[in-house]
Amino acid sequence: MRKRCSSICSSSSAEEDGASLYDGLPTSATDPASDPQSAHAALLCCHRVQDSLLSSNSSFTEYRGVLNWIIILLVLTHAHLFLENFIQHGFLIDVKKVLEHLIEDNCNWPSVNLIVAANMFAITALLVERSQEKGTLSPTSGHRLHLTNLGVLLLFPAAVIVHEPTISTGGAFFSLWFYTALGMKLYSYQETNRWYRQATDAETDESVPVAQKASNEQLTLRDLYYFLFAPTLCYQRDFPCTPAVRINKLLHRLLEMVIVIQIMVGIVQQWIEPIFQRSENSFSSMDITMRVELLVGLVAPTHFLWLLLFFLSHSYLNFCAELLRFGDRHFYGDWWNATTLFTFWKNWNVPFQKWCHRHVRARLLEKNVPPSRAELLVFLMSAALFEYMIALPLHSCRLWIFLMMLFELVVAVFLANYFQGNYGNGLVWLRLLLGPLLAVITYFHDHYISFRHPNLQPSPSPLTSDHRLPSAVFLQPQ
């Protein structure tokens, strides 16, 4: 009798291998009256070989309920933090202070003058290209003039920011980022036009559309300034365009930008600044316990601020694209699903990555540089550029951002084989929480401390000086 039951259970378990526990119960298709053996097997044998849902061998992937629980828990936790913050500090948000920190001394507006002066670099690039197109300037001389123009373009804002005491930190940030984007655009402008001329010289029939485009159209101010205002860093003479401007989309993006900026100002004034106010020393002079406490307290607001900044860039780029009818709106990939840091770096800023691939990596490969070394050089250039764009306006160069990105590279190389799938995605999000964002916020922390205590000197830096606070960042309550 025992052997018979065991055989019945074995056969029942084999039939139910791909089903759940309750799938083995009698259904309308298997009537207990017509098949009594099957009915007895379902009642007598309720166990089969199967793994726990949370074990590594299980193929279970439906975690939506867990995700909803985490979201609700995060909302409730941060609602408690906000409530505690309001009870302790009161209402600190004051949008009017943003305008106060944007106004520069004596109404000279050096940052505005910087941006207006940028037109001479753009016009110079256009004149050089026209001269080469007409043949009045040799390719070698034109290339040298372009490099000289770009070199002055990069040094000019840095010299003004360092030596002009009336420029605000917000104006310094905006003008430096503007000049950096302009330099990358003009480099792509001269490189791409050189490729067009090479295609024209190599043309042997009328079936080459690129060469035909280069020979039939002259370089104009309209084409140049369309490219300068377009949300891209890579130039071409024929951009894809949408049929018309959708006014409702423009207003929608504009409303998004206004709301997001207000939320960002609120997070800075209500959440980040009180944390800074509790500190009396610069980050570099703290002991390890105080450093950890400061960084842990800044993880959540810094991360929220970065996410809002990403959404603000999404709204701004789409606003510009809609206004100019710019068709290519692939500004980012699904970086939130990235399972490796390399995938994240490739997807989070598509225009920059496209420029690096087109004008840096491809040129290095042409010079027989190995692909891995070319990618390393591109990454180092990106890290140095990020450090430069944050450190220079704050007059504080400590290489924290550059070193943190190098540490990320080491983590990505040595841990890629150990963190894959969901674990790799978790490592990417951990990097977003504890990576260069905290290095950036330590720069602003020390700048805030030096502003509150002018006599307190942080760690030695070749660019340290007393400067006004950046616009919409670290605004002191009255």
Most confident region among 84-93, 278-287, 406-415, 464-473 by mean pLDDT: 406-415
Give the pLDDT of residue 268. 87
Give the pLDDT of residue 97. 66
Identify the band that residue 101 occupies on the pLDDT scale cut at 50, 70 and 90. Answer: low
Give the pLDDT of residue 262. 87
Question: Is it the case that residue 156 has pLDDT exceeding 90?
Answer: yes
User: In the beta sheet, which residues pair with residue 241?
Assistant: 326
What single-letter DSSP state applies at residue 230?
S
Give the pLDDT of residue 398. 85
Q: Is 326 helix (H, G, I), strand (E, B) or coil?
A: strand
pLDDT in tens, 162-187: 888 888 888 889 999 999 999 999 99
Question: Is it the case that residue 231 has pLDDT exceeding 90?
Answer: yes
What is the torsional sign of CA 24, 27, 29, 30?
A: positive
Give the pLDDT of residue 4. 54
Task: Please state, in angstroms and as integers, the Cα–Cα distance from residue 356 to each residue in 42, 64, 187, 350, 382, following that order.
Answer: 64, 38, 11, 10, 9
Predicted TM-score (pTM) above 0.85: no
Residues 6+ apart with CB under 8 A from 398: 284, 391, 443, 459, 461
Give the pLDDT of residue 185. 95
What value, to the nearest 5°, has the Cα angle with vertex 431 and ends 272 and 393? 50
Helices marked H in 357-477 — which ranges?
362-366, 371-394, 400-415, 422-434, 436-452
What single-letter DSSP state applies at residue 271?
I
Distance CA 144, CA 231 (A): 27
Give the residue, 374 or 218, on which the prediction is more confident.
374
Question: Is it the case that residue 6 has pLDDT exceeding 60?
Answer: no
Q: Quick one: what percent of the chain has pLDDT higher than 90?
A: 33
What single-letter DSSP state applies at residue 24?
G
Give the pLDDT of residue 298. 87
Give the pLDDT of residue 473. 40
Question: Is it the case that residue 121 has pLDDT exceeding 60?
Answer: yes
HSE, CB side, 13 Å, CA atoms: give it for residue 91: 2
Q: Do 300 and 78 touch, CB atoms closer than 8 A?
A: yes
Residues 6+ apart with CB under 8 A from 305: 264, 267, 268, 272
pLDDT in tens, 280-329: 777 777 778 888 888 888 888 898 899 999 999 999 999 999 999 998 99
